[in-house]
Structure 1
Amino acid sequence: MLDDPLIAALRARAPRSRVLVEEDIPSGYLHDEAAGAPFGQARALVLPQDTPDVCAIVGTCAEFDVPLVPRGAGTGLSGGANAVDGCVVISTERMNQVREVDVENQTATVQPGVVNDDLKRLCAEHGLWYPPDPASSAWSTIGGNVATNAGGICCVKYGVTGDHVLGLEVVVGDGTAVRLGCHTVKGVAGYDLRGLFVGSEGTLGVVTEVTLRLRSRNRTPPVTVVGFFKELADAGRAVAAVAACGVTPAALELVDRNCLRAVDEWKRTGMDRDAAVLLLARSDAPPGAAEEEGRVLMDCFNGAGATWADVSTDPVESEALFEARRLAYPALARLGPVLTEDVCVPRRHVPEMLARISDISATWEIPVANIAHAGDGNLHPLIRMPSLDAAATVRVQHVFDEIMDAAIALSGTVTAEHGIGLLKRDGMRREMSLAVIAMQRSVKEALDPRGIFNPGKILG
């Protein structure tokens, strides 16, 4: 590798970057957290520090006609950051500077390697708040959040990452850095290229800077409503009732028995392990209004058949409950391999979607646990992989595919926040018409004519 002209060029043109060759690349840089998604062996791993470094790296890959796979922290669950053989992996983890927090205009400008929770803490010091909160917020980076248009618990009321991205700096196919969007709250000059790059999973260019919309920090303790249900379908009806009641909660989360038991075995939370499902709702409205919203939400829970429901204004208790929700996936994953789904349906169809997931699980005799951002219809069925033998793998894949098909049949989508990556390419083709797929290919070919950016992802 010492005489590899590509490696020599990368080191010469991006001298501030760290460049590792094939045999020195830690295996963790070759893939994300998607169970079963294939990955190859990279030719090089490059860790740039700034935009000029990225320009040099992209320009060099274009000159040598070498594929380039961008990655953030690698917390994705769709295979979107997986290496292909002979590629250059470009990790933005060293690009971790907050360029500016503009208190007056309520914006932050950051490099892509800034960790989501780190930005939240810094904003809080200025009385501001960055709402998007994916479950991986303690580790995932803003660049990765932009790449998948990540959501989280708060998105039912405050929107996903793309709703907070005002502007981007992006390095495109010839190594040129361009700025998209603006620093203003409103701006409609030309096509929305900023929006096009949000959620593009590194297939159109490399994001090197992001300007984000912030909100004033809410200092009022939230009101939390908790409800336990004996049947998953009852919880689904409660979700539909909330959607129809006129209240938009700041969060509405679902955790089923399988996840509750896994969390309790791990952390000894003392929650009701016999309940089929837990629903958690939160109101962050002003005092008085929050209590009223809490009562309305509890009425929805009770009307749908909750075995127990209550309202809490204790911030410690509230945080403990939501922490149990955040721990659901890692608690289950520590017990064995888990393939994570990410489908979304209209909220009125949540009961039917939950029923179909149960039927699919029973048909293929593959255990499926459920967590969900239930307030916006975004379900995360967690498919347990009982073994790694060929027969079990085939059954797991059937479950994965049939859950996507069920979501499509209910006017839903195959992914709401994890992205297409490698795992959901077939599902996207079933969801979209041939004409729309052709339009997407045209965009890819126009912005990446050499086809070097993250090949194989989204469109295949």
Structure 2
Amino acid sequence: MSSPFLELERALPADRFLSDPDVLSSYARDEAERAPFAVPAAVVRPRTTAEVATVVAFCAERGIPVVARGAGTGLSGGANALAGCVVVSFEAMNQILRIDPDERLAVVQPGVVNEELRQACARHGLWYPPDPASAPWSTIGGNVSTNAGGVCCVKYGVTRDYVLGMESVMGRGEVVRIGRRTAKGVAGYDLTGLMVGSEGTLGLVTEVTLRLRGARAAERTVVGSFDGLAAAGRAVAAVAASGVVPSALELVDRHCLKAVDDWKRMGLTDSGDVLLLARCDAPGPAGDEEAEQLLACFEQGGATWSARSTDEAEAEALFAARRLAYPALERLGAVLTEDVCVPRMLVPEMLTRIERIAADHQLTIASLAHAGDGNLHPMTVVPPGDDDARARGHAALERIVDEALSLGGTVTGEHGVGLLKKRGLAAEAGPGVLALHRAVKTALDPAGIFNPGKIFT
């Protein structure tokens, strides 16, 4: 029997189309432990926008689902394949096309790795701020898809704040350019902003124009140790009330600290149960004043110990430990993770509720947080083969979503909705807003082929 994709395979260069079952299975899912997936019918690895347009036109004519994929580091199931779909992997579209120091912008293909872009910008004395924990592996296309944030977004914003424009392949295979490359521009609807965070449900992004900043000033690092989440939460609230906007404010609880220590022997658990890691980057004396204010906020919250780091290597090691927390927990079993965001002043209350939920479900829930903007990442580790723990973990994380919403929060701060947050988004947005989402999708994706079943469908 001939393949239904034979025409597509012939229309593409020889090495673009993949159909080997073992290879296809490696493109079936992202890193979300709780999200369903299937093996795709085919994978295409394009190198040009024209090749992407060929795939989309072929699939639109036949009603074949198309799922875009970057590095597969997502945590919500947004890149998971479904039966019969074509996965379009952008791994080969990985060129930095332009860095313009005068206009402070970069033009990149979607497969460019975040950290590689940041390093390339640094060589020109420029800085691309969005820095998700997956920056060494995740791609700009994936970051655009989920509107990724990171450590410094408390002060410098998320991916959407840096996307000036893009080239995209739309619903029938047509190629469009939206946005701008000027410092200002208000013509028409903000279609660029609409595409950022759309998780591949409206079109396939094939090129991105990004705003850059000048090289940042030297950072000061402030560290505080606390005897519990409630005290650390009070310190976070004190920082929010002080008016200081740190360039980073991260919370790492005792479970994360122990997991990293067991792996890397860094001695993190010697200082206390919870660490707050803060940075400020105001130039000159203003930066020193901010550091002193942060110390005062930590003490106000009840720090058992706090200090301004004078050793840059030590400060870097502490932030590296924060990034190692998730892979350290993965060594212990499957990590079920959440990503909720609450008003900053309610971080103490949300942390208290997470501890209560952990006790109610007889679980250990580890907490990481971009505490400066109220973005919490509670995680529970499920030992291999423990189905009961997995079920309790699922129930606990759903409760955490509900508690965040009850505090006026949102179901995702940076991971995206994907498959895992559909119930939460429905509760957060309500029927009227969901109808607006569906109307937009119908207008931009008339064949209904782009990442169906994700976000709200």
Output aligned runs, 1:153-302, within 5 Å. 153-218=151-216, 220-273=217-270, 275-302=272-299
Structure 2 residue aligned with 1:307: 304
Distance 2:262 2:228 in 1: 22
Q: What are the equivalent positions in structure 2 for 1:330-409 lying under 5 Å apart? A: 330-386=327-383, 388-409=385-406
Alpha-carbon distance in 1 for matches of 2:271, 2:303: 13
> In the TM superposition, what whole-angstrom CA distance separates every residue of 1:226-260 from its partner, at most 9, and x where no partner exists?
00000110000000000111110000000000000
User: Following TM superposition, by how much is the alpha carbon of 1:5 offset from its aligned partner in structure 2, in angstroms?
Assistant: 3.3
**Kept after mapping to 2: 8 A contact 1:22/1:42:** no
Question: What is the DSSP-based 3-state SS (H/G/I as helix, E as strand, rest coil) of the residue aligned with 1:108?
Answer: strand
User: Which amino acid in the other structure matches residue 286 of structure 2?
Assistant: A
Following the alignment from structure 1 to structure 2, what is the Cα–Cα distance between the partners of residues 418 and 147?
A: 10
Q: 1:447 corresponds to which residue?
A: 444
Q: Which amino acid is the alignment partner of residue 138 of structure 2?
A: S
Question: Which residue, out of 10, 13, 23, partners 1:12?
Answer: 10
Secondary structure of residue in 2 paired with 1:266: helix
For 1:32 and 1:406, locate their aligned partners in 2 and report how far apart those are by CA, in whole Å: 26
Superposed CA deviations along residues 179-233 of structure 1, whole A, max 9, x for unmatched, are 1111112211111111111000001110000000000012x43110000000110
SS in 1 for 2:391: helix
CA contact (8 A) 1:106 1:128 kept: yes
Deviation at 1:388, TM superposition (A): 3.9
Cα displacement (A) at 1:308? 0.3
Give, as a single letter, the amino acid of the residue that structure 1 aligns with 2:4: P
Using the TM superposition, give the Cα deviation of residue 275 of structure 1 relative to its aligned residue in structure 2, in angstroms: 1.6
Give the conservation status (yes or no) of the 8 Å contact 1:343–1:412. yes
The answer as to whether partners of 1:72 and 1:91 remain within 8 angstroms in 2 is: yes
Q: Secondary structure at the match of 1:42?
A: coil
Q: Corresponding residue for 2:145?
A: 147
Q: Secondary structure at the match of 2:389?
A: helix
Partner secondary structure for residue 25 of structure 1: helix
TM-score (norm 1): 0.97
- CA RMSD after TM alignment: 1.2
* SS of equivalent to 1:211: strand
Partner residue of 1:107? 105
Q: Secondary structure at the match of 2:278?
A: strand
1:254 corresponds to which letter in structure 2?
Answer: L
Alpha-carbon distance, 1:24 to partner: 4.3
Paired with 1:406 and 1:36, the residues of 2 have a C-alpha distance of 20
Conserved? CA contact 1:181–1:194, under 8 Å: yes
Which amino acid is 1:60 matched to? F
Q: Secondary structure at the match of 1:30?
A: coil
Secondary structure of the residue aligned to 1:29 is coil
CA deviations 1:405-429 (Å, max 9, x no partner) are 0100000000010000011101111
Is the 8 Å Cα contact of residues 76 and 419 (structure 2) preserved in structure 1?
Answer: yes
Out of 110, 126, 129, the residue aligned to residue 127 of structure 2 is 129
Give distance in 2, aligned partners of 1:194 and 1:221.
32
Tell me by how many angstroms 1:433 deviates.
1.4
CA distance in 2 between partners of 1:68 and 1:313 (Å): 51
TM-score, normalising length: structure 2: 0.98
The one-character-per-residue Cα deviations of 1:400-459 (angstroms, maximum 9, x if unpaired) are: 110000100000000010000011101111111110011111111111121100111101
Which residue of structure 2 lines up, in the alignment, with residue 48 of structure 1?
Answer: 46
Question: How far apart are the structure 2 equivalents of 1:352 and 1:244?
Answer: 16
Contact between 1:261 and 1:273, CA under 8 Å: does it hold in 2? no
User: Which amino acid in the other structure matches residue 130 of structure 1?
Assistant: Y
For the residue of structure 1 that corresponds to 2:82, the secondary structure is coil
Supply the distance in 2 between the matched residues of 1:177 and 1:385 (Cα, whole angstroms).
44
Task: Please give the alpha-carbon distance, in whole angstroms, between the structure 2 residues aligned to 1:453 and 1:414.
Answer: 23
Q: Is the 8 A contact 2:24 2:42 kept in 1?
A: no
Cα deviation, residue 356, structure 1: 0.3
In the alignment, residue 52 of structure 2 is paired with which amino acid?
V
Distance 1:388 1:446, change over 3 A: farther
SS at match of 1:356: helix
- Can you list the C-alpha shifts for 1:158-178, whole angstroms capped at 9, x where unaligned? 000010000011100110111
Q: Which runs of 5+ in 1 are unaligned?
A: none
Q: Deviations over 1:357-404 (max 9, x none)?
A: 000010011210000000000000012224544433321121011000
In structure 1, which of residues 409, 425, 429 is the aligned counterpart of residue 426 of structure 2?
429
Q: Using the alignment, how far apart are the partners of 2:288 and 2:356 within structure 1?
A: 38
Query: Is contact 2:252–2:275 with CA below 8 Å preserved after alignment?
Result: yes
Please identify, of 124-133 and 15-24, the stretch whose mean Cα deviation from structure 2 is larger: 15-24
- The one-letter amino acid of 1:217's match is A
Secondary structure of residue in 2 paired with 1:101: strand
| CA positional deviation for 1:289 | 1.2
Amino acid in the other structure paired with 1:53: E
The 1-side partners of 2:316 and 2:390 are apart by 37
Amino acid at match of 1:443: V
Identity among equivalent pairs (%): 60
